[in-house]
Structure 1
Amino acid sequence: MNGARGRTIGPIVILFILALNLPYATLIELFGYDDILREPTGVTLAAFRAGGPPLLLAWLGFAAGALLFAPLAGLLERAIGLRAGWTGQASAVAQTVGLARWVFIVPLLAEAQKDAPPPLAATIDLLYRAQHQMFGTFIGEILGQILLAAWTARVARHLWSLNRPLALMGAATLPLWVLGLSEPLATVFRSLPGIEVTPLAFIGWQAWLLWFGGWLIWRKGSRLCGGGYFPPQQAQHPT
């Protein structure tokens, strides 16, 4: 990969952040996300029906945005000379699967729940909570966030020799990811206190990613070596 191509990754990072936040903002406006997830099933499904096609498109866009991280993770690894891994791609897939349930499963449940008699409504409630627990809580949140934290830790460790403040900011998000796992785990281990810090983890992680992209765009006086960028006095031969 040449230097010019490497510098194009910065704008791709910015586009990725936009691809995530535009549908996310729409979900907040149309659906009250993510506070709506803490409401009873009937309230959540009624709000989903009220959102109509724009809400469905927002969920589709959010899932597609999450999936875009799969190729981006590999591009960022190559840009700093890091051997290709799999945790970033796996995280993208896990979070996409978790989000895709709002496109392919929840619409069916929301439509069936409308004017449903009590026995059917109880069944729909159970089905909704079961799919939410499996696809949302376990695959999307727990697995997706653990894998994303692992990718961030791996990249931050490699950045230590290239840009220590950038590496430290990436590492600083890791405790938030760990604390954020307490909320989905509390749905299984009832005595565990759920700490709602995952939104802060995502905000901090996206800020770090923007800095990462900006650094790739604006870094000067560097040259390509072994797939990464190093100051001339630190250039190394590929091993």
Structure 2
Amino acid sequence: MDGEDRRERSIGMTVMTEASRAGEETGGRGNGLLRWTVALLVLEPLLMYAAFFVLSSSINWPSSLDEPASVNLPLVAEQRGAMVLGYGAYLEYSLLILPLSVLLYFALGRRGASSPLLAVAAAVGAISALARALGIVRWLFLMPVLAEVYLDPATSGATREAVEVAYTSFNEYAGGVGELLGVALTGAAWVGLTSVAMLRSGRFPRWLGWLGLLAAALLLPGLVSVAGLEVGSLFAVVGGNVLLIWMLALAVVLGLRLRRIRRGA
């Protein structure tokens, strides 16, 4: 009997040791995901503010988006380096929303947020990232070519008119995909669903969830332009800034939790 007891204790100790190791490995992976999530939440506002600073000082962005080809194309040619730098940062910011939305699904889901809502939010965030990118790339590849043709002294009047038509058409199409679909619709839905999941979990500061819902609400008015109504860029600018503040606040909250985990370990 003593031998059997010893064998049972030995088996029990082995099982407990393996379970402990598995828990440590899982916790290590979870902490790694959390670190990457915090890093992206901090990087995103830095990229967006860098893009805004470069583009606003060089081509008067975002007000210049409403200007005709005769105003914008000379600016594109004159400030091509700054424009590529600024829109490159904006493109990186937009594409990083895709991995960020996936990381938030795991990081928040591990901490009690509603997984079904976060799964939908992650999918919508991925669509938002791709739609934003499709809207931005025109400034990096198409517009410089149009500017060269438009400003070429050998270009005829008819060709310049055709360039103006192409400029307006691509702006309307890409602006609809990037700004309406990517920012006002799916971007707002991504932030809103993530914030609702945090509020429902009860394990995150409530002000953080409400701040995210405010950002989503301020991004939505851009959709009314589909009906031919203009609300101006005020809502987009304010909503974008509130969104970036929400990202930084979420980074702080998750960073503090990661610090507590490390101290506990």
The alignment's TM-score, normalised by the length of structure 1, stands at 0.84
Deviates more, 1:44-53 or 1:82-91: 82-91
Following TM superposition, where does structure 1 have runs of at least 4 consecutive aligned residues deviating by more than 6 angstroms?
A: 220-223
Relative to structure 1, is the Cα distance of residues 168 and 111 closer, same or farther in structure 2, using a 3 angstrom cutoff?
Answer: same
In the TM superposition, residue 34 of structure 1 has moved relative to its aligned partner by 1.0
Identify which of 125, 132, 146 aligns with 1:88.
125
Specify the alignment match of 1:237 in structure 2: none
Question: Which SS does the other structure have where 1:105 is aligned?
Answer: helix
Aligned residues: 217
Could you tell me whether the CA contact under 8 Å between 2:80 and 2:144 is conserved in 1?
no
Specify the alignment match of 2:136 in structure 1: 99
Question: Which SS does the other structure have where 2:61 is aligned?
Answer: coil
Structure 2 residues not aligned, in runs of 5+: 1-25, 110-114
Could you tell me whether the CA contact under 8 Å between 2:34 and 2:258 is conserved in 1?
no
In the TM superposition, residue 221 of structure 1 has moved relative to its aligned partner by 9.2
Relative to structure 1, is the Cα distance of residues 221 and 13 closer, same or farther in structure 2, using a 3 angstrom cutoff?
Answer: closer
Distance 1:220 1:54 in 2: 38
In the TM superposition, residue 152 of structure 1 has moved relative to its aligned partner by 1.1
In the TM superposition, residue 11 of structure 1 has moved relative to its aligned partner by 2.6
Distance 2:92 2:62 in 1: 18
In the TM superposition, residue 61 of structure 1 has moved relative to its aligned partner by 2.5
Question: Which SS does the other structure have where 1:219 is aligned?
Answer: helix
Q: Relative contact order (alpha carbons < 8 A, sep ≥ 6): 1 or 2 greater?
A: 1
**How does 1:1-239 map onto structure 2 within 5 Å?**
2=27, 3-8=30-35, 9-81=37-109, 82=115, 83-84=118-119, 85-114=122-151, 115=153, 116-136=155-175, 138-145=176-183, 146-160=185-199, 161-163=202-204, 164-182=206-224, 184-185=225-226, 189-190=227-228, 192-196=229-233, 197-219=235-257
In the TM superposition, residue 222 of structure 1 has moved relative to its aligned partner by 6.9
Question: Which SS does the other structure have where 2:79 is aligned?
Answer: helix
Distance 1:72 1:104 in 2: 26
Could you tell me whether the CA contact under 8 Å between 2:31 and 2:258 is conserved in 1?
no
Question: Which SS does the other structure have where 1:86 is aligned?
Answer: helix
Could you tell me whether the CA contact under 8 Å between 1:20 and 1:65 is conserved in 2?
yes
In the TM superposition, residue 57 of structure 1 has moved relative to its aligned partner by 2.7
In the TM superposition, residue 117 of structure 1 has moved relative to its aligned partner by 2.7
In the TM superposition, residue 6 of structure 1 has moved relative to its aligned partner by 4.1
Distance 1:76 1:12 in 2: 10
Distance 2:248 2:44 in 1: 10
What value does the CA root-mean-square deviation take over the aligned residues? 1.9
Distance 2:182 2:55 in 1: 20
Percentage identity across paired residues of the two chains: 24
In the TM superposition, residue 59 of structure 1 has moved relative to its aligned partner by 1.6
Please state which structure has a larger fraction of its residues in helix. Answer: 2
Deviates more, 1:171-180 or 1:210-219: 171-180
Question: Which SS does the other structure have where 1:162 is aligned?
Answer: coil
In the TM superposition, residue 60 of structure 1 has moved relative to its aligned partner by 2.1
Structure 1 residues not aligned, in runs of 5+: 224-239
In the TM superposition, residue 104 of structure 1 has moved relative to its aligned partner by 1.4
Distance 1:21 1:220 in 2: 26
Rg bigger for which structure?
2
Distance 1:222 1:91 in 2: 33
- 1:138-168 deviations in whole A, cap 9, x for unaligned? 1101110211111111111110122211111
In the TM superposition, residue 118 of structure 1 has moved relative to its aligned partner by 2.0
Relative to structure 1, is the Cα distance of residues 54 and 156 closer, same or farther in structure 2, using a 3 angstrom cutoff?
Answer: same
Amino acid at match of 1:167: G
Could you tell me whether the CA contact under 8 Å between 1:94 and 1:144 is conserved in 2?
yes
